[in-house]
């Protein structure tokens, strides 16, 4: 089927097909720190594409509405074209990464999510959902009031994506813990459907459940020794492991084959 190139993102190339669907081509590119650090690793794109397709199908079966339409081996995801919301949603189950750094600087109020003087990598009492901008030169945390004032979403829509985000996290965590993985945090994107009959409806979009957009920790190391063994893009960010080996291990655990 004919397709036309639209744009390249940090890790994906995007095309529009003649039938109106969008095709995400997952590349072997990887970036960190808003593109300041870059690399490329064989089969990374295929692994992330297969994982994302697996999760989209699983979530659809659990009642989550998404833009997913199909998988073209080895590294292409077919989707409904949506109008992406200009915010990313980040759900955090543990006090880690930028949330930990902001907490230590006194920039974020976590009362109700921690007990007393919390330590790094400590589990939160409940999932902390926050937002960052998406289409600005550098992503930044954004409060709900600014989202409302910019008319990006109304109050009911914000509550809807919170509920969906928590449901998605519950579905993923329940599955992952059986595979020896802790879902420390995860990033989601949503868009407004253009499909007849559900125009404007907010649905899950982009990619989901990959080590590019989730923090996965080895549960045995954390539960037995309190050690964070990263099985995600942190091995690239922090130069603490071999990305191809780590991504293959996540793929093997989640999908059950090499």
Cα distance between residue 100 and residue 59, in whole Å = 29
Q: How many domains does the chain have?
A: 1
Exposure string of 229-247, with b = 16+ CB inside 10 Å and e = fewer, is bbbbbbbbbeeebebeebb
Interval 194-253: pLDDT, tens? 998 889 999 999 999 999 999 999 999 999 999 999 999 999 999 999 999 999 999 999
Cα distance between residue 165 and residue 64, in whole Å = 10
Interval 90-112: pLDDT, tens? 999 999 999 999 999 999 999 99
For residue 73, what is the domain's CATH number?
3.30.470.20
DSSP 258: -
- Please tell me the predicted confidence (pLDDT) of residue 257: 62
Q: H-helix or E-strand containing 63?
A: none
Average pLDDT, the chain: 95
- Please tell me the predicted confidence (pLDDT) of residue 20: 92
Q: Which domain holds residue 173?
A: 3-255
137 pLDDT more than 90: no
258 pLDDT more than 60: no
Q: How far is CA 20 from the centre of its chain?
A: 25
Q: H-helix or E-strand containing 116?
A: none
Interval 37-50: pLDDT, tens? 999 999 999 999 99
What's the pTM value of the predicted model, to 2 decimals? 0.95
Q: Is the dihedral of CA 152, 6, 214, 132 positive or negative?
A: negative
């Amino acid at each position: 089927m004919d397709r036309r190139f639209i744009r390249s993102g940090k890790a994906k190339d995007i095309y529009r097909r003649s039938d109106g669907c969008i095709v995400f081509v997952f590349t072997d590119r990887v970036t960190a720190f808003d593109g300041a650090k870059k690399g490329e690793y064989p089969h990374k794109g295929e692994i992330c594409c297969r994982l994302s397709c697996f999760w989209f199908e699983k979530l659809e079966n659990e009642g989550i509405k998404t833009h997913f339409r199909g998988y073209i081996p080895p590294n292409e995801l077919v989707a409904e074209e949506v109008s992406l919301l200009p915010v990313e949603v980040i759900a955090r189950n543990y006090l880690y990464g930028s949330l930990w750094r902001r907490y230590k600087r006194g920039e974020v109020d976590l009362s109700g999510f921690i007990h007393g003087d919390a330590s790094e990598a400590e589990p939160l009492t409940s999932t902390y959902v926050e937002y960052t901008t998406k289409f600005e030169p550098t992503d930044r945390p954004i409060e709900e009031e600014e989202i409302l004032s910019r008319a990006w979403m109304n109050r009911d829509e914000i509550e809807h994506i919170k509920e969906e985000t928590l449901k998605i996290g519950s579905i993923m965590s329940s599955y992952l813990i059986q595979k020896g993985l802790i879902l420390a945090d995860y990033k989601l994107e949503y868009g407004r459907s253009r499909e007849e009959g559900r125009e404007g409806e907010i649905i899950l979009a982009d990619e989901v459940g990959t080590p590019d957009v989730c923090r996965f920790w080895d549960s045995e190391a954390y539960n037995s020794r309190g050690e964070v063994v990263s099985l995600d893009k942190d091995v690239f960010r922090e130069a603490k492991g071999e990305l191809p080996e780590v991504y293959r291990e996540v793929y093997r655990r989640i999908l059950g084959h090499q």
